[in-house]
Chains A and B, each alone.
Chain A
């Protein structure tokens, strides 16, 4: 197809898979800098903002797109198809945001089966009246022709579990500052890091930036959920018995949650040497339980209500155990 694009300008695509849309909004959050982006790059595909169809993308030459920012996880056949398509058409594919990076919040759906989700959504939810138990079908023949819907997969995948990913920009959503930094770096033509690198985040975990007072006194007699305790606003959350993912999560977000007196949920993902950030955090938290007998330990552990939701909130599809087993 004939796009009115300047060959000297970067060709940029932004796509969302299974996502909330926050990542796309984060791009807009660069505010007036958006003009700088547009000045430096042509947006060739961005469903949320531009009316460019899938078939237009299909029509592009391979590697036509310089950079694709892919946000959202892979939840259905459409997500997967687009991931493959964009991989084919893009020079650099970036997993943008937690969902594309590690599976993100949608990844917690891996604690349920597709069947149980459908049942809840289309049958048992309080706001649903569906006595015929009608469910969306991937293919329906109507007089006008055949209607199709993407097939929903049984579990949620991160982008790199479907296609090869060049870079990761973590965050839920990534901060606009980080995006700008990355974009500026690309535009300025500086040396790109090795493939597979997490960019737009620090190598060190969040505690490095966090301004709360930290000490070695980490022993905890019981854990609290944020609403169960009045945070003193200045002591390390963990020392107060609140589970904060900060020490297992890359810095780069600007510790905005913590500034809002909420413990870190880990959306920036683990540091480069960590295989399973949830397990690491679980290990660290268990280590500081202030009890020695199995009974006392069990009692303290009772106060960690939901280990999966606590330690794998934004990374479940990428964990060693990426979904719940249903036997």
Chain B
């Protein structure tokens, strides 16, 4: 058997690590560990010269295991795996020790931080001894895609893929396509008629030979893995259709919260009080009237109804400020004499041409009144002397307690994730954040992928978004999908469970444990087997296997136990 030869590299990360950790001492300590051939430090291991150093050492010193003590493996594990690969070593012969995010950045005692770094690196050294080469696997990609949700994002994604000649299954739970966008009259900040544009897009979808639309339908089950999914669609109330597809675009969007739950606004009590989507319907009819059919002299638009409020939704619903400004403009056109009030908590005009809309609108005799959610939200009461209601609150910019009469009150209601987000996230193996929105793979660098390969989340199912953002995301996801289809194959998870058939006794503990149905009982051999294509490598079955027959590649008992031994081994101080 080839002799184990380990190279240890401790990164300074400029001063990020070196300031709090004595990197030289860490490297020196590792030199004496069993099988360690060399231990070096370098300013930036992830830089090209840093990687080249590893590659050179692997070749010159015949290293066959590498430990890199640097930042979180979640950031650079792939970088260094590639470096190993470039040096002709199996990429899995690498172990990283996280001495930045979980050490130098969070501790303030240099001696302690150095001691901890030595432990963590010792753990990695101990572990890497037991690493085994793992080989990548490639599977073909089914060029068809499933799109869940027929809003503006789903429609865009469907057309992009279909126009590229790929089969698309579009599943919409309602009986009409268009989602929230279809309920809007004009867009902000440009006042385009979105319904006109949507009609064209929907017509194209309906006649497109590559798109199969399932209306009033829901996805019931999804099995498989990137490139090779299989799903069940329940159409209407009974029919179940089984389809195969290679990628999934989740575009389930969002919905407005029920403002009834926020009692101080009196929604449902006073007919003068309506939601923004109610108002869109009013606007679509062409004239601004309140529920009594009267042209209001005072129109109040209340922002952040349920948004940015710990009691309801802590996040910003993002589209309301601009929509509210749009309303002010439209009311101003329809009723030039009316008083228009914007009751806001903070005005957010972050997008292209949005600040301009704000500036423009504020010049149109619109009164902006600020309230503080923490100090108390506006309370709507019947106006004792006027025809409408009275909105009472402490106006933050003047410090005055004021009353504002209004015959029409528009609530800019918060948006929340769709109610089927939970089940779809479970079916697709994706995660939801604390607010029920889908979590993207990386919020900055990979904003439409998810941690499940082949599943993309676009549009407002991630967080409230405006139309151009949703459209961009849909196109980004489809570009990714078309790239994988063009490539023809995808690489699938190599960190999977494996069964040692010499030990497995067929007790079948592992079968039910697997959330992906990857473990099966082989009646003929009387042992369990793992379908590696389905396995995601969580390792739960390994921990449930009483006989030790199942191990999780790259996270074997031996590897983890030796990491514990390494971490707990005595280290020199200072």
Contacts A217-B512, A275-B557 known; A284 to B505 CB distance under 8 Å?
A: no
User: CB of B574 within 8 A of chain A?
Assistant: no
List A contacts of B479 (CB < 8 A): none
Please tell me if the beta carbons of B508 and A284 are within 8 angstroms of each other in the complex: no
B:158-187 near A, CB below 8 Å: none
Residue in A207, A219, A272, A288 whose CB lies within 8 Å of B505: A207
Of all chain B residues, the one with the shortest Cβ separation from A204 is B505
User: CB of A206 within 8 A of chain B?
Assistant: yes
Per-position 1/0 for B499-530, Cβ under 8 A of A: 01011111111011100000001000010000
Please tell me if the beta carbons of B546 and A281 are within 8 angstroms of each other in the complex: yes
User: CB of B569 within 8 A of chain A?
Assistant: no
The distance from the CB of B513 to the nearest CB of chain A, in whole angstroms, is 6
Please tell me if the beta carbons of A205 and B545 are within 8 angstroms of each other in the complex: no
CA distance A174 to B545 in the complex (A): 25
Interchain Cβ contacts within 8 Å, total number: 84
The interface residues of chain A, by DSSP majority, are classed as: loop
Per-position 1/0 for B539-552, Cβ under 8 A of A: 01001111111010
List A contacts of B506 (CB < 8 A): 207-208, 214
Residue in B503, B521, B545 whose CB lies within 8 Å of A284: B545
CA distance A216 to B509 in the complex (A): 6
User: CB of A247 within 8 A of chain B?
Assistant: yes
User: CB of A28 within 8 A of chain B?
Assistant: no
List A contacts of B500 (CB < 8 A): 273
A:181-224 near B, CB below 8 Å: 203-208, 214-219
Of all chain A residues, the one with the shortest Cβ separation from B544 is A287
The distance from the CB of A175 to the nearest CB of chain B, in whole angstroms, is 18
Residue in B507, B521, B540, B557 whose CB lies within 8 Å of A247: B507
Contacts A216-B512, A218-B508 known; A205 to B526 CB distance under 8 Å?
A: no
User: CB of B111 within 8 A of chain A?
Assistant: no
Contacts A216-B512, A275-B557 known; A283 to B544 CB distance under 8 Å?
A: yes
User: CB of A86 within 8 A of chain B?
Assistant: no
User: CB of B243 within 8 A of chain A?
Assistant: no
CA distance A214 to B547 in the complex (A): 16
Contacts A204-B503, A204-B504 known; A270 to B509 CB distance under 8 Å?
A: no
B:472-507 near A, CB below 8 Å: 500, 502-507
Residue in A214, A270, A287 whose CB lies within 8 Å of B548: A270
Please tell me if the beta carbons of A271 and B548 are within 8 angstroms of each other in the complex: yes
The distance from the CB of B506 to the nearest CB of chain A, in whole angstroms, is 6
B505, B511, B512, B551: which has the most chain A beta carbons within 10 Å? B505
Please tell me if the beta carbons of B508 and A205 are within 8 angstroms of each other in the complex: no
CA distance A273 to B558 in the complex (A): 9
Please tell me if the beta carbons of B547 and A248 are within 8 angstroms of each other in the complex: yes
Residue in B526, B540, B545, B551 whose CB lies within 8 Å of A208: B526
Residue in A204, A218, A271, A280 whose CB lies within 8 Å of B512: A218
Of all chain B residues, the one with the shortest Cβ separation from A209 is B505
User: CB of B139 within 8 A of chain A?
Assistant: no
User: CB of A251 within 8 A of chain B?
Assistant: yes
Contacts A273-B557, A275-B557, A280-B548 known; A205 to B543 CB distance under 8 Å?
A: no
Of all chain A residues, the one with the shortest Cβ separation from B512 is A216
The distance from the CB of A128 to the nearest CB of chain B, in whole angstroms, is 41
List B contacts of A252 (CB < 8 A): none
Please tell me if the beta carbons of B503 and A287 are within 8 angstroms of each other in the complex: no
Please tell me if the beta carbons of B507 and A207 are within 8 angstroms of each other in the complex: yes
CA distance A283 to B542 in the complex (A): 10
Please tell me if the beta carbons of A274 and B504 are within 8 angstroms of each other in the complex: no
List A contacts of B511 (CB < 8 A): 216, 218
Residue in A203, A214, A271, A287 whose CB lies within 8 Å of B508: A214
Of all chain B residues, the one with the shortest Cβ separation from A251 is B505
Please tell me if the beta carbons of A280 and B502 are within 8 angstroms of each other in the complex: no
B:324-380 near A, CB below 8 Å: none
Please list 5 pairs of residues, one from A and one from B, whose beta carbons are closer than 8 Å in the complex, sorted by A's number. A204-B503, A272-B503, A277-B546, A280-B548, A283-B544
B: residues with CB less than 8 A from A are 500, 502-509, 511-513, 521, 526, 540, 543-549, 551, 557, 561
A: residues with CB less than 8 A from B are 203-208, 214-219, 236, 238, 246-248, 251, 270-275, 277, 280-281, 283-284, 287-288
The 5 closest A-B pairs by CB, nearest first: A216-B511, A247-B507, A284-B546, A248-B546, A207-B505
